[in-house]
Amino acid sequence: MNRESLDRFLPGRRLAMAALGLLAAFVIAIGIYWSIAPAAFNVNEVTARRLANTDSAQVIGSTSAATLIEIAETLLEKPGGFLSNDIMPPGLYLDNIPNWEFGVLVQVRDFSRAFREDFSRSQSQSTEDADLIIAEPKFNFTNDSWLFPASESQYKEAIAALNSYLLRMVDADQSDAQFYARADNLASWLSNVESRLGSLSQRLSASVLQQRANTDMAGDPSATQSTPARAEVAVKTPWLEIDDVFFEARGATWALLHFLRAAEVDFAQVLDDKNAGASLDQIIRELEASQRSLGFPMVLNGSGFGMFANHSLTMANYVSRANAAI
CA distances from 12 to 5, 23, 24 (A): 11, 16, 18
Residue 192 counted as domain residue: yes
What domain range is 135 assigned to? 16-171+179-212+232-325
Residue 111 lies in a domain: yes
CA-derived radius of gyration, the chain? 24
More confident residue, 302 or 189: 189
Total number of domains in the chain: 1
Instruction: Give percent of the chain with pLDDT exceeding 70.
Output: 95
Q: Kindly tell me the sign of the dihedral angle through the C-alpha atoms of 156, 159, 163, 165.
A: positive
Query: Is there a domain that residue 303 lies in?
Result: yes
**pLDDT tens, residue by residue, 49-60:** 999 988 888 999
Residue 249 lies in a domain: yes
Q: Please tell me which residue, 91 or 78, carries the higher pLDDT value.
A: 78
Q: What is the pLDDT of residue 1?
A: 52
Residue 100 lies in a domain: yes
Residue 32 has pLDDT above 90, yes or no: no
* 248 Cβ contact list (under 8 Å, min separation 6): 99, 100, 102, 103, 200
Lowest-pLDDT range, 36-50, 250-264, 265-279, 291-305?
291-305
Over residues 15-37, the mean pLDDT reads 86
- Nearest 5°: the CA angle 183, 187, 190 is 140
Going by pLDDT thresholds of 50, 70 and 90, the confidence category of residue 9 is: low
Q: Quote the percentage of the chain above a pLDDT of 90.
A: 62
- Asked, for residue 5, whether it belongs to a domain, the answer is no
Contact 247, 298 (CB under 8 A): no
Q: Is residue 224 part of a domain?
A: no
Residue 221 maps to a domain: no
pLDDT at 2 over 60: no
